[in-house]
Structure 1
Amino acid sequence: MIAPLQRALVAAEQPVLRAHGLSMWGYVVLDTLEGQPVRTQVALAEFIGADKSRIIGVLDELENDGLLERTRDPADRRARLVTITEEGRRRHGAAQAEIQRGEERLLAQLPAADREALLRSLAALVDALPKLGQD
């Protein structure tokens, strides 16, 4: 039941992201950097589950658009630090707000008690995710 919903939500997000000049991976990168504004490229790729060589093109695109900056890590000259810019924050925030409005429209289809129960249940499942691999 979750897979069709996930596919529909991703499909609904695509035009929103395009309107804000973002790819899905670009949005994921900015979303991650919004939570922790400085990461190494390798740590960022690991955190979002992307191959570190595949993420380079996404980072290049975001950097060319002025949405992030990459600098050498003073502690390790081989590593590059990735930092979200103010424009990156602005564009991420605008896209995120529009995506959330769409999610709210979908959730409004449920009675308030069902909506609250669904959101609590989803939060509990997200919290349980790290434990799945331990069984």
Structure 2
Amino acid sequence: MLFQNIFVIFTMIALSIFSSIGNGETISQVNVTSSSICYEMVYPPDDNPIWSQGLDMNLDMVQLCADVVAYKLRWSTTLDSDWYVTGINDINPILYPEYGLRRMWSYFQTHYHTCVICKSNKHKINSNDTKC
């Protein structure tokens, strides 16, 4: 079980790196040697509507000062979702006309969630109005 969890986390981090390479960057522009600290955390519902703001990939940095590499949602006391990898398989298939397309992390507001988050010196956004 431990090996399986380590393999899943490694795969999610690798997918995250490759997805950023596929967004128009070349391999030389992606800093894969920067040291990141990644860990898994369980969060309670945070009642913050920021998570429902469309498909913005910077919400995790604004809210948590970290990259949410992957996450799963707790639908009930005994049922967790499969893992969602941010930017890979996390578009909510349910279209809410008042919100438009959203990421599955929009449920962070109302559901317990488990996240693999990574903190590093590389920032996703260049803004002075974050708490990071």
Same-fold call, TM > 0.5? Answer: no
TM-score bucket (shorter structure): under 0.3
TM superposition score normalised by structure 2: 0.27
Higher relative contact order (CA 8 A, sep 6+): 2
